[in-house]
Amino acid sequence: MEKSTLFQKYGTVFEPGRTIFKEGETGDTMYIIQKGRVKITKKVTDVDKILMVLGKGDFFGEMALIRQTPRTATASAVDDCELLTFNRNGFLSMISKNSNIAMNIIETLCLRLEKADNQIRDLAKRDLKSLIISSLNDLRRAVKSQVPEGVSQILKYQETIKNIALQINATEKEVEPFVERLISAGFLSSDGINLEILRPKDLDKLACYFKK
């Protein structure tokens, strides 16, 4: 089935900032991103914490669909999004007919579980440096999926500080000094507005070092 035909049958468009579903709602639909980015957030002590930013090819909403339980987080469109939507019967039909899709979903779920396990280990240590670097790496990977190979990864400075603080349940005043240290050490560069990732591979190594 061609993509255009698939989108005509299952496609939905969401404008930037529009809520796709809210935490606590009953869920009967899962989504696969064809275009754009989707932000997944969860309310933590009255603050919306960013759990992840998903891009083209990623899926979300599957847990409520499979387990038939309320949504555990809120999903909203970051920019113009084109999504494929599947109810429970459509989802089961899709994976039963295409083993590659089923394996991709299983692999992605395993990676998410591994990430959650790493986050739990980090939180148990409450190593602020490790948490900041891990969060920064998550944000840059989300950007990496949206830019061509070889093009510099650019983040907004203040937005990045705010997002990291929300993700690790810290204050911006705690996060910013360590980000400035990463700039001074040459891992990042900044003009006060934008934040450029200069040494992504070294950031990964640094994250592993602080987790030891």
Interval 61-88: pLDDT, tens: 888 777 778 898 999 999 999 998 988 8
Kindly state the tokens that stand for 43: 């309310």
Kindly state the tokens that stand for 34: 């064809």
| pTM check: above 0.85 | no
Residue 143: pLDDT above 50? Answer: yes
Residue 31: band (very low, low, confident or very high) from pLDDT cuts 50, 70, 90: very high
pLDDT at residue 1 in the model? 44
Kindly state the tokens that stand for 66: 């499979």
Q: Structural domain boundaries of the chain?
A: 3-116, 126-211
Chain centre distance of CA 27: 20
Of 62, 61, 57, 55, nearest to 77 by C-alpha is 55
Residue carrying structure tokens 């754009």: 36
126-211 CATH choice from 1.10.357.10, 1.10.10.10, 1.10.150.120, 3.40.250.10: 1.10.10.10
Using CA atoms, how far apart are residues 86 and 29, in angstroms rounded to an integer? 5
Question: Which fold, 3-116?
Answer: Jelly Rolls (2.60.120)
Evaluate whether 3-116 and 126-211 have a shared fold: no
